[in-house]
């Protein structure tokens, strides 16, 4: 499938924040494998940057899976999903933690 065709397809996708359609010039293909396309999109209207992962079949977008940012995508594709360091971090956090679970996950 050609990239220009795909961009045209994605220019019909609306921004998840403001509903404006993406401009073709603001759609960038980041990755493609077995019909799974990962595209970076930028909304002119609300200036939101997003990432779209979609399964494209027979010229139609079968599924839009996510709207990660580009940084998040890099992090998830390059790293382990949950590494041993993450487990140790949580272990150490819980070891010294006093209080209930709700306060553990609250921001303050
Ligand atoms: Zn927008």
At 93 the pLDDT is 75
- In order along the chain (108 residues), what is the average pLDDT of each group of 10 residues? 76 86 90 84 90 77 65 67 72 76 65
Enumerate the domain spans of the chain. Answer: 3-79
Listed in sequence order, the residues at least 6 apart from 84 whose beta carbon sits closer than 8 Å to its beta carbon are: none
At 108 the pLDDT is 55
Ligand 1 centroid distance, CA of 44 (Å): 7
At 62 the pLDDT is 66
**pTM of the full structure:** 0.54
Ligand 1 centroid distance, CA of 38 (Å): 18
At 8 the pLDDT is 82
Integer angstrom CA distances of residue 103 from 88, 93, 94, 96, 99: 20, 13, 12, 14, 7
Ligand 1 centroid distance, CA of 19 (Å): 6
């Amino acid at each position: 499938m050609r990239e220009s065709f795909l961009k045209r397809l994605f220019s019909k996708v609306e921004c998840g924040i403001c509903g404006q359609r993406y401009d073709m010039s603001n759609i960038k293909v980041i990755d493609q494998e077995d019909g799974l396309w990962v595209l970076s999109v930028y909304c002119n209207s609300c200036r939101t940057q997003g990432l779209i992962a979609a399964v494209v079949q027979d010229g139609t977008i079968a599924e839009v899976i996510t709207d990660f940012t580009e940084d998040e995508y890099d992090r998830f594709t390059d790293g382990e999903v949950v590494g041993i360091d993450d487990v140790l971090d949580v272990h150490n956090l819980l070891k010294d933690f006093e209080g209930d679970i709700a306060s553990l996950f609250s921001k303050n």
